[in-house]
Amino acid sequence: MLTFTTLASGSSGNAALVSSGTTHILLDAGISARRIVTGLRELGVEPEQLRAILVTHEHHDHVSGLSVLTKKRNVPILATPATCRCLAAKMPALAHLLREQEAGTGVQLGEVWVESFPTPHDAAGSVGYSISGGGERMALCTDLGYVTPEVKEAVLGCDLLVCETNHDEDWLRSGPYPYSLKQRVLGDWGHLSNEAGAELAAMAVQSGTRIVVLAHLSQENNTPAHARAAVCRRLAAMGCDPERDIVLQVAPRNELGPVYRLGEQAFADGRTAVC
C-alpha cells in the first residue's frame, strides 16, 4: 500500500512523506528539521528510517531544514545535477549525501519506484515526482508556471495528484507584491493559479485520478476555500461531483495533513478512495 501525507504545504515551507511498506521517503525539506522530525514521529517514522530525501528544487521553502536534518543522519538526497550543484554550493556539508538523478529518469528505492519529470520554474533543474508502490501511483506537481507535455504525461493516470493552486490571479494583480514579483509568479517560470491548477486537476480526473490534494497555496493571494471552489467549478463543468466522485482536499499550511492510503477503501463501483 502506498501512503502519502503532507507535513507542511505553502509558499513558506513544504515537506511531505510517502511510504510503501517499510520504505519511507521525504519529499522536500522546506521547514525546520525539528518540525520535520516531530511530524515524522507523529506518523510513526523515525528520521533514521528514511530511505531518501527527494528535492524538487533548491528554493528556500523546499530545502531550509535539509542541512540540520541530515547533519547526523546519512540519508541520501536525490535531485537533478543542477539542483545538486546549487545545494553543494549553499550547504557544502551535504555534498557527500547528494545523489544526482537526471530529470525524466527513474530509480528503485526499496519498495518504491521514483521517476522525476522536469517542471518549468525559475530554479536550477526543477522537477516533480511520480512515485509508485504497492500497485498504486501518485504524482507531486507543484512549483511550475504552466503545464508542459512532460507534466501532462507524468500526471495522467495517477491515483493521487498533489496539484499546485498557488494564487488567485485577480488577488495577485491587485495585491501588495512589487510589480517584478507579480510578473515572476504569473509568468511561465512561476506558479500555477487556481484556474490553471483546476485545469490540471480536471485533466487528471478525466484520466482516472480519484484523489486530488491542492498544494503550495500563497498566504497572501489565496485561501483554501477559494482554491477549492475554483477546482470544484471546473470539475462540475465536466460532470464530476467533487463531493461524491473523488476526494478533493487542500493540504494544510503548517500542520500534518490526512494520511492518504491509496487503494484501501473503495467507492460502490470499485474505484479507490482514501480512508
Q: How many domains does the chain have?
A: 1
* Domain boundaries, position 249: 2-273
CA atoms within 13 A on the CB side of 18: 27
Res 263: pLDDT: 82
Taking only the tens place, the pLDDT of each residue in 6-41 is 999 999 999 999 999 999 999 999 999 999 999 999
| Percent share of the chain, pLDDT over 90 | 95
For residue 183, pLDDT beyond 50? yes
Q: Report the CATH number that the domain containing residue 18 is assigned in CATH.
A: 3.60.15.10
Res 50: pLDDT: 98
Q: Which three cell numbers stand for residue 178?
A: 512589487
Which range is least confidently modeled, 100-104, 131-135, 243-247, 262-266? 262-266
Taking only the tens place, the pLDDT of each residue in 137-166 is 999 999 999 999 999 999 999 999 999 999
Taking only the tens place, the pLDDT of each residue in 229-272 is 999 999 999 999 999 999 999 999 999 999 999 986 533 333 33
- Write out the H or E segment, with its range, that includes residue 44: none
- Alpha-helical (H) ranges within the chain are 33-42, 60-63, 66-69, 81-90, 149-155, 169-174, 179-186, 194-206, 224-237
Q: Measured between alpha carbons, how far is 196 from 190 in angstroms, rounded to an integer?
A: 12
pLDDT range class, residue 65, cuts 50, 70, 90:
very high
Helices 224-237 and 194-206 pack at an angle, to 10 degrees, of 40
Res 149: pLDDT: 98
Res 142: pLDDT: 98
- Alpha-helical (H) ranges within 64-167 are 66-69, 81-90, 149-155
Cα-based distances in Å from 252 to 17, 105, 255: 14, 30, 6
Taking only the tens place, the pLDDT of each residue in 185-215 is 999 999 999 999 999 999 999 999 999 999 9
Q: Measured between alpha carbons, how far is 127 from 102 in angstroms, rounded to an integer?
A: 10
